[in-house]
Structure 1
Amino acid sequence: MFRIKDALRALSIRWVISILLLVQFTYGLSTIAGTGNIFFNLHYLKINSVLDFDSTYLVVPGRITNGLQDERYTKEQVEEIYNKLKNHKDVISFGTYYADNIVLDTKTHPLDSRLIAEFTKTHVGFNDPFINTIVIDENYYRLLNLKLSSGHGFSAQDFRKNSTQEANILAGSYFKKYYKTGDLINDQYRIIGFLPDKYIVNNNTSNVYLKLDKAMILPMPEDRYNDYNLMLSRLHLTTILKLRPGANLEQLTQIIQFPGDDVKLSLRNLGEDIRHNIADNTYSEIPQMVLGLSFILFSVIGIVVTTMVSIMIRKREFGIKLALGESTLGIFSQITIENVIIGITGIGLSLVHFMWKYKRLLQFSREMNLASPLDLKMNGSILIIIFLVFMTIISISSFFVYLFLRRQELKSLIGGME
């Protein structure tokens, strides 16, 4: 406690230099937090897809001119396309899905206020809490080959129900806080298992994906599966294929394309999409990386130089302490405490600055829960990155300060400027 009080007194004496270091730490660590988010997200995208990168292909539409309800084609023609895919030698499996939202019933069954707050997406204009949901057909469920964290998966019977009946669902791991297997949501959706903490495609035309920890997966009701308009829409927008290596993409593209259809379809590899996304964002972060490394370098230089100046100004103080029995290590620890206090204060200010600067984006990321390079957050992983950078700066600067302090002689210190 004595050393901390002494450190605070010393910092108040050299307050100008201390404030300059604080400003440097505030903006530097805030930049590190932003860059750390980007690279954390890129790492997450690389290893946490529920779909296999190399074998998964998405059916992607070009420009849609006349909508998706086309009377020129029939339900039988759509089914014929899927039959051709099913029998094609290059197709391992395929399936379709659509994205939906389940609004939580807060009137019939009171819910935990934290649960309501977590799923109320005011940032995007929704006042009622809802859960992002992926509705999948039976083929897609087999393609996913989900490894559940607990519970069990769907049976064939789950895909034979209609949309008004009670449905079994798979819920994200977040729901374990409030539900267990067998519990009902909205008196209609029964939880039978919990999903792994991965992400899934929820839009074939986007390079952002849905995290499953706060989402749900439902079996597609039979009446929705057989609805022609939904069937045509799924063909154009949300068909997923798992292909063998070296698959004939040109031939498969011709199979999925209606003759004369205004919606031109193509096949896009999921792995190539994500790797391209990762590479683009890595290159775009190079200036930020340079800025972050410059911050570390100048922080080390700043701390070393200001500490050396402080030592020279306080030579007599330190000389007297050494004469009275204080060790060089004790003096060094006193100076290190001063620098640590500046650094910890800088960490606090940098977090405040980061959350103020990215307030809207942080709220959007929390509410939408999407996997993307710009999914900014302030969680334990980012705090660890900031702490490691801080410890690197303190360790390196302390090493040089210690070397400088060891070279000082008692005689020259006592004859200091004080």
Structure 2
Amino acid sequence: MLRIRNAVGALNSRWVISILLLIQFTYGLSTITGSVNIFYNLSYLSNQSILDLKSTFLVVPDKITGGLLKDKFNQEQVKNIYTELGNNPDVVSYGTYYEDTVLLDPSKDSLDSKMFVELTKTNLGFDEPSISAIVLDENYYQLLELKLKSGQGLMEQDFNKNRNENVHVLVGSYFKKYYKIGDVINSQYTINGFLPDKYIVNNNTSNTYQKLDKSMLIPMSKEIYNDYNSMFTRLHLGTILKLREGANLEDLTEIIRLPGNDVSLSLKSFGEEIKQNVKENAYIEIPQLILGISFIIFSVIGIVVTTIVSIMIRKREFGIKLALGESKIGILAQIIIENSIIGITGVVLSLGHFLWKYSALLRFSSEFNYASALDYKLNGTILFFVFLVLLVIIVISSCIVYLFIRKLDPKSLIGGME
């Protein structure tokens, strides 16, 4: 406690230099927090897909202008496409899905107040909480190969029910705090398993994806599955293929194209899309990374220089301490405490600056829970890396300062007076 009190007094005596260091830490660590977010997200995209990146392919349209011309074709033509895909030796499996939103009804369920707030998407103008959902057919569910406990998961009969009937659903890990297996949401969706903390495709034409921790997987009802309009839309926007290595993409592309269709369909490698997304964002982040490295270097230099100057200003104080038996390690400990106080204060200010600067993006990321390069957050992992950077700065600067301290002797510090 005495060392801390002395450290605060020392910082107060050199407050101008301390404030300059605080400003440097505030903006430098705020920049690093942004860069850590980006690279954390890129790592997440590369490693946390529920779909196999190597074998998964998405059916994508070349354009969507004025809606899809469903009237030019019929249900039999679309069914034939899926029949041919199922018979093709290059296709391991395939499935279809569409994105939906489940509005939670407080009159049917007693909702926790915290969950109510966290699931309300104010960016969309919603006043009621909602759950982002992926409605998937049985083929797609089998394609996911989820490893759940016996008796859990979606059942075959769930895919044969009508839209408003009670069905089993899977929900993300977030809901473990509020529900258990067998609980019913909206008097319709019975929870029969929890999803891993990964992400899933929710739009074949986008490079943002749906995280599963706050999501729900719903079995597609038989009337929706067999509805031509839904089937036609899913062909263009919601078809997933799992292909064998070396699959003939040209032949498969010909299969999925409807003759005379104004919208051309093609196959896109999910893994290549993720790889390209990661590569582009990593390149974009290089200038910020350079700024972050420069901050670390200048922070070390700044701390070393100001510390040495402080020692020279207070050399009589340190000389007396050494003469009275204080070790040089003890002097170093005093200096480390002073610099740590500046560093920790700088971290707090930098996080405040980061929250202010990216407040809109942080709120959007929290509400929509998308996996993307710009999914900014302040979770435990991000804070760990920020404090790790601070620790590196303190350790390196302290080692350099110690090389200076070890050469000091009491007589030179106090001028031979005592």
Q: Give the TM-score taking structure 2 as reference length.
A: 0.98
2:117 is matched with which residue? 117
1:19 equivalent to 2:19? Answer yes
Q: CA deviation at 1:150?
A: 8.5
Match of 1:71 in 2: 71
Distance (whole Å) between structure 1 residues aligned to residue 288 and residue 98 of structure 2: 37
Q: Which amino acid aligns with 2:148?
A: L
Counterpart amino acid of 1:162? N
Q: 1:66 to 1:403 in 2, by over 3 A?
A: closer
In structure 1, what is the Cα distance between the partners aligned to 2:350 and 2:48? 30
Superposed, 1:162-173 pairs within 5 Å as 162-173=162-173
**Distance change >3 Å, CA 151–CA 122, structure 1 → 2:** farther
SS in structure 1 of the partner of residue 99 of structure 2: strand
Q: Which residue of 1 aligns with 2:270?
A: 270
Instruction: Specify the SS of the correspondent of 2:71.
Output: coil
Residue 307 (structure 1) aligns with: 307
Structure 1 residues 374-393: Cα deviation after superposition (integer angstroms, max 9, x where no partner): 10000100110011111100
Q: Which runs of 5+ in 2 are unaligned?
A: none
Distance 2:123 2:306 in 1: 45
Shift of 1:69: 4.5
For residue 254 of structure 2, what is the aligned residue in structure 1? 254
Structure 2 residue identity aligned to 1:175: F
CA contact (8 A) 2:159 2:220 kept: yes
SS at match of 2:72: coil
- Partners of 1:303 and 1:323 in 2: CA distance: 26
CA separation in 1, counterparts of 2:266 and 2:125? 34
Once the two structures are overlaid, the 10-residue window that deviates more, 306-315 or 325-334, is 325-334
Listed as ranges, the matches of 1:400-415 within 5 Å are 400-415=400-415
Q: Structure 1 stretch 353-362 or stretch 140-149: which is displaced more?
A: 140-149
Taking structure 1 as the reference length, the TM-score comes to 0.98
Identity of aligned residues (%): 64
CA distance in 2, matches of 1:112, 1:250: 52
Match status 1:327 vs 2:327: yes
Q: CA deviation at 1:208?
A: 0.7
Show the counterpart of 1:317: 317
Q: What are the residue-to-residue correspondences of 1:132-281 with 2, within 5 Å?
A: 132-148=132-148, 152-281=152-281
- Runs of 5+ consecutive residues of structure 1 not aligned to the other structure: none
Q: Does the Cα contact within 8 Å between 1:99 and 1:134 map onto a contact in 2?
A: yes
Distance 2:309 2:167 in 1: 72
- More displaced, 101-110 or 146-155? 146-155
Per-residue CA deviations over 1:64-97 (Å, capped at 9, x if unaligned) read 2352252121111111111111111211111100
More moved, 67-76 vs 157-166: 67-76
Report if aligned partners of 1:365, 1:376 keep a CA contact under 8 Å in 2.
yes
Partner of 1:377: 377
CA contact (8 A) 2:26 2:346 kept: yes
Contact 1:69 1:229 in 2 (8 A): no
Q: Secondary structure at the match of 1:4?
A: helix
Q: Deviations over 1:354-387 (max 9, x none)?
A: 1010000000000000101110000100110011
The AA in structure 2 aligned to 1:19 is I
Aligned to 1:368: 368
CA deviation after TM superposition for structure 1 residue 146, in Å: 1.2
Note the C-alpha offset of 1:126.
Answer: 1.6
Mean Cα deviation higher: 389-398 or 140-149:
140-149
Per-residue CA deviation, residues 90-118 of structure 1 (Å, 9 max, x unaligned), is 11111100000000001232211011111
Counterparts of 1:332-351 in structure 2, within 5 Å, are: 332-351=332-351
User: What is the CA-CA distance between 1:147 and the residue it aligns to?
Assistant: 2.0
CA deviations over 1:145-184 (Å, ceiling 9, x no partner): 1123786112211110010111110111111111111110
Partner Cα separation in structure 2 for residue 6 and residue 150 of structure 1: 62
Distance in 2, Cα, partners of 1:66 & 1:365: 30
- Contact persistence 1:149–1:195 (CA under 8 A): no
Q: Whole-Å Cα distance in 1 between the matches of residues 120 and 411 of structure 2?
A: 69
- SS of 2:70 mapped into structure 1: coil
Distance in structure 1 (CA, Å) of the matches to 2:283 and 2:292: 15
> How far 1:319 sits from its partner (Å)?
1.0
Q: Amino acid of the residue matched to residue 123 of structure 2?
A: H
Structure 1 residues 158 and 318, CA, compared in 2 at 3 Å: closer, same or farther?
Answer: same
- Residues 207-260 of structure 1, C-alpha deviation per residue, up to 9 Å, x if partnerless? 111000100001100010011100000001110011111111111111111111
Distance change (3 Å), C-alpha of 1:265 and 1:253: same
Name the counterpart of 2:37: 37
Q: Distance in 1 between matches of 2:17 and 2:416?
A: 20
Deviation at 1:398, TM superposition (A): 0.4
Question: CA RMSD of the aligned region, Å?
Answer: 1.3
Deviations 1:39-76 (A, max 9, x none): 11111111110101111100001122352252121111
Aligned to 1:55: 55
Partner of 1:2: 2
Structure 2 distance, partners of 1:337, 1:72, is 75
Q: Give the number of equivalent residue pairs.
A: 417
